[in-house]
A and B are shown apart, each in its own frame.
Chain A
């Protein structure tokens, strides 16, 4: 088109700007046509693929449902179940069809439990889907590995734990998280042994997910958490402190007292909170003696501890901090004083008797 245009209208007759506009318009027009064609083809391809996926799903669903209802005992396969497995085995070799079958099973595993879930697991083994799941662990792409571990977790495949375990320290947090979830979902408290060798940080979100899984387990007898309290990985220590609080691990109080001198401030604060929860009365004197060397956050945590574990002998200490520079500490000191010596509290309030109760409510709200 540029050549045709140039034949009739030589560039000399037109200013350069008009010529450039024509060329740009032509290039944009061609790009628009090419991109539109590409998008139309892409849309058609995606629709075709989606239709194929839906058709595949519709054709495999009845097979799987029939398989699940063909036996009374989920551990023993009937002749019909063998036939269904043999029918589906060749289909599984195709990646797209395998994906459809996995998604059907995955959906079912999320919705049903009991014998049905056992039957689905057996189907996963017998069709050879497990081999594809395990093969994902050898993939060079991290997202395939993460997906593979997720799949093995969902289908409750315990036998491959030795292959999954090295991923607990993987460089990608997504893979690590899946590996941690695998260990805890399948081996419960015993699965937490991965914390022994954890060299990378355990994210807050990951900790929440692990605790959620652990709380759903029927057998709530927790293992020994002391080794994790002494871990070199600070996030493991924080997680162990959470376990100590949630599972009321009174037997670790002595270890917690030692952690009050931990170099990490966040851990020291978490230790004070844990000791408060576990009634670590021994910590009170230790912290009182070292109070002026503590950070303000630790001092606040300590006063929160005192609020719960205060003794009449602590009164002079509390009184000495009624005018602390930090408002939270002032308020906590007043609340504590109110709980142990209300007359002294009134002296400090310095208000007429008929207004005392209102002043108390304002300053020291009742929990």
Chain B
């Protein structure tokens, strides 16, 4: 059986690496994007089963990434959004654009794995 593909859009390289390591251990195939543009390219090329995206990113924000998936690509790919404290309004916007779940930073990687498993399995 082929592995589920996940695109992770996060500008903090250490956090990306940390989550990649953790999710790969769970059997997922990870594609890392450092900014919104890279995330959109990866989503179009790799057609992932799930997208994990930070709200604040260079070039294009997480909100623009969600909007691209839902409105331009017209896909129902599950999206989990990461947000920092004080970005509650952004989270609401993310949900109205079609995000499926959100996690406030700092978050536990173990909790993220549970949420990913729930959405994919």
- Give A contacts to B, CB under 8 Å: 57, 61-62, 64-66, 68-69, 104, 107-117
Given that A107-B15, A108-B15, A114-B111 are known contacts, is A69 also in contact with B106, CB under 8 Å in the complex? no
Chain B hits for A115, CB < 8 A: 108, 110
Chain A hits for B25, CB < 8 A: 69
Given that A110-B105, A115-B108, A117-B106 are known contacts, is A64 also in contact with B14, CB under 8 Å in the complex? yes
B17 touching A62 by the CB < 8 A rule?
A: yes
Q: How far is the CA of A61 from the CA of B16 in the complex (A)?
A: 11
Interface: B59 (CB within 8 A) = no
Q: How far is the CA of A274 from the CA of B25 in the complex (A)?
A: 55
Can you list the 7 inter-chain pairs with the closest CB atoms, starting with the nearest? Answer: A114-B108, A113-B106, A111-B15, A65-B21, A65-B17, A111-B105, A104-B14
Least CB distance, A63 to chain B, in whole angstroms: 11
Q: How far is the CA of A66 from the CA of B22 in the complex (A)?
A: 10
Q: How far is the CA of A65 from the CA of B17 in the complex (A)?
A: 7
B17 touching A111 by the CB < 8 A rule?
A: no
Q: Which residues of B from 78 to 120 have beta carbons under 8 Å from A?
A: 105-111
B109 touching A112 by the CB < 8 A rule?
A: yes
B110 touching A107 by the CB < 8 A rule?
A: no
Chain B hits for A104, CB < 8 A: 14
A58 and chain B: residue at smallest CB distance: B13
B106 touching A112 by the CB < 8 A rule?
A: yes
A107 touching B106 by the CB < 8 A rule?
A: no
Interface: B18 (CB within 8 A) = yes
Interface: B12 (CB within 8 A) = yes
Q: Which of B12, B109, B111: most chain A CB closer than 10 A?
A: B109
* Range for the number of chain B residues in contact with chain A: 10 to 19
A111 touching B12 by the CB < 8 A rule?
A: yes
Q: How far is the CA of A61 from the CA of B15 in the complex (A)?
A: 10
Q: Which of B12, B18, B105, B111 contacts A65 (CB 8 A)?
A: B18
* CB pairs A–B below 8 angstroms (28 shown): A61-B17, A62-B17, A64-B14, A65-B14, A65-B18, A68-B18, A69-B21, A69-B25, A104-B14, A107-B12, A107-B14, A107-B15, A108-B14, A111-B12, A111-B14, A111-B15, A111-B105, A112-B107, A112-B109, A113-B107, A114-B108, A114-B109, A114-B110, A114-B111, A115-B110, A116-B18, A116-B109, A117-B106
Given that A69-B25, A107-B12 are known contacts, is A112 also in contact with B17, CB under 8 Å in the complex? no
Q: How far is the CA of A107 from the CA of B21 in the complex (A)?
A: 17
Q: How far is the CA of A69 from the CA of B26 in the complex (A)?
A: 13
A216 and chain B: residue at smallest CB distance: B85
Chain B hits for A66, CB < 8 A: 21
A112 touching B111 by the CB < 8 A rule?
A: no
Chain A hits for B109, CB < 8 A: 112, 114, 116
Chain A hits for B105, CB < 8 A: 110-111
Chain B hits for A62, CB < 8 A: 17
Least CB distance, B110 to chain A, in whole angstroms: 7
B108 touching A113 by the CB < 8 A rule?
A: yes
Chain B hits for A68, CB < 8 A: 18
As a 0/1 sequence over residues 7 to 36 of chain B, the CB contacts with chain A under 8 angstroms (1 = contact) are 000001111011001100100000000000
Q: How far is the CA of A104 from the CA of B25 in the complex (A)?
A: 22
Chain A hits for B110, CB < 8 A: 114-115
Q: How far is the CA of A115 from the CA of B13 in the complex (A)?
A: 20
Q: How far is the CA of A223 from the CA of B108 in the complex (A)?
A: 30
